[in-house]
Every structure is written in C-alpha cells, then in structure tokens.
C-alpha cells in the first residue's frame, strides 16, 4: 500500500459511517483534498507512517466519521423539517384557495351524533395542523448552527416526534371528518380527500426521515461535543 493508499483507506473507513447522498460525497471529496495535502508535505513517508500522520493530524477515522455523520444528519433533519413546513404551508394556502372558490356548504355537516363527530374531527385536524407546523418550525431552529453550539446536549429530538404525532392525528381526524360527512356530499369529500391524503402521506414520510436523522445526528453531535470538552 502506498501513501495515497493510506488516504483512500482512511476515507473508506470514514465514508462507511456517513449516510448516503450527495452531501456525504462532497464531504469526502473535501476531506480527501485535506488528507492528500497533509501527505504531500512529506512525500517520502512509508504507508505506515502516512497512516499515523493522518491520525495525528485529523484524528482516527472513527472520530472523524462520527463527527461528520452527526453534522450531515443534522443538516438532513433540518432540510426535511423545512420540507414538512413547506408542504403544510402550501396545503394551507391551497385550502384557502379552495374554500374561497368552491367552498364547503353548510349542508355537508351531518345531523345528530354524526354532526358532533364531524365537528370534533374538524377541530382536531385544525389543532393538529397548527401543532405540526410549530413543531416543524422549531425543528428547523433547533438544528440550526447557533442553537447546536449554544446547547449541543439539548438538541430536542422530541420536536420531530411531536410533528410526526401531530401529522398522524391530523390524518386520522381527516378520515373521521370525511367518513362522517353528511350523505350527498361524497363527491365533495373525494375531491378534498385526494390532495389532503397526498399531503399527509408526504409530510409524514418527510417527518419520519427528519426524526431518524435527528435521533442519530443528535447523539453523534453530543458525543463529539463531550469528546472535545473532555
């Protein structure tokens, strides 16, 4: 193995810890440049000494990979939270347009106990939508650079779980409201159900990704922060 081979071996161990994606590839390319420059300063190094030099200058591949993985996953969590917020805001705007152009007739509200169920479902879905928007917005703030530097040990992973829970409740409330809608308005219900269900499924999928990335990234970030202050 040559000195350049030591660089590639180091990179392979680092990249094995990173989530797949373009960001990880870009990070590895940047790291390769730094590793190569460190080796080129002493071109006569044998592979064993080159590997030791890389560890001395950059840290072990496990340490570097863990820190980079945490940073990448936190960025992915922030991006997915932003997507969730965007989907929710776009859906809200779409509903305003629909309500102002088509409208929902008062006769769509059933009578008797079905009416109480319908109205309760509407109230719940409205509240759940607000909670999901707030949770997504706070998730973006919590994964921002200043917040992580101020309080790296308190990255609130529960925010993405709150958003995911609110979205799940929202979906169930929508189904309840549609199922209890007054007879004769099934066509209107179907017209509303298709985009709403598509929005809910998309937002839930994005929120699950954000929760997964934030759970892993926060743990890695906290571990890296402890290691630097130890």
Write out pLDDT tens, residues 114-131: 999 999 999 999 999 999
Domain boundaries, the chain: 3-59, 77-216
- pLDDT, one tens digit per residue, over 9-66 is 999 999 999 988 888 899 999 999 998 888 887 766 777 888 888 899 899 999 999 8
Q: How far apart are the first and last CA of the chain?
A: 35
User: Which pTM was predicted?
Assistant: 0.77
Identify which has the larger pLDDT, 148 or 140: 140
Q: What is the 3-class SS of the chain, one letter each residue?
A: CCHHHHHHHHHHHHHCCCCCCHHHHHHHHHHHHHHHHHHHCCCCCCHHHHHHHHHHHHCCHHHHHHHHHHHHHHHHHHHHHHHHHHHHHHHHHHHHHHHHHCCCCHHHCCCHHHHHHHHHHHHHHHHHHHHHHHHHHHHHHHCCHHHHHHCHHHCCCHHHHHHHHHHHHHHHHHHHHHHCCCCCCHHHHHHHHHHHHHHHHHHHHHHHHHHHHHHHHHHHHHHHHHHHHC
Query: Check: CATH 1.20.120 for 77-216?
Result: yes
What are the tens digits of pLDDT across the range 165-177? 999 999 999 999 8
């Amino acid at each position: 193995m040559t000195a350049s081979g030591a660089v590639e071996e180091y990179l392979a161990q680092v990249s094995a810890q990173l989530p797949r994606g373009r960001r990880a590839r870009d990070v590895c390319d940047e790291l390769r440049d730094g590793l190569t420059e460190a080796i080129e300063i002493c071109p006569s190094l044998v592979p064993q000494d080159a590997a030791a030099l890389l560890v001395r200058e950059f840290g072990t591949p496990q340490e570097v990979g863990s820190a980079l993985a945490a940073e990448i996953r936190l960025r992915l969590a922030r991006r997915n939270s932003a997507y969730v917020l965007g989907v929710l805001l776009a859906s809200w705007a779409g509903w305003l347009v629909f309500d102002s152009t088509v409208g929902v007739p008062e006769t769509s509200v059933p009578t008797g106990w079905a009416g109480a169920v319908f109205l309760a479902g509407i109230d719940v879905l409205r509240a759940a939508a607000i909670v999901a928007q707030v949770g997504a917005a706070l998730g973006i703030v919590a994964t921002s650079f200043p917040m992580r530097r101020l309080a790296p040990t308190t990255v609130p992973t529960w925010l993405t779980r709150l958003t995911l829970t609110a979205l799940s409740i929202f979906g169930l409330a929508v189904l309840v409201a549609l199922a209890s809608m007054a007879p004769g308005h099934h066509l209107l219900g179907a017209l509303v159900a298709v985009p709403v269900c598509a929005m809910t499924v998309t937002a839930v999928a994005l929120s699950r990704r954000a929760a997964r990335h934030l759970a892993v990234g926060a743990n890695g970030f906290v571990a890296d922060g402890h290691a630097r202050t130890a």
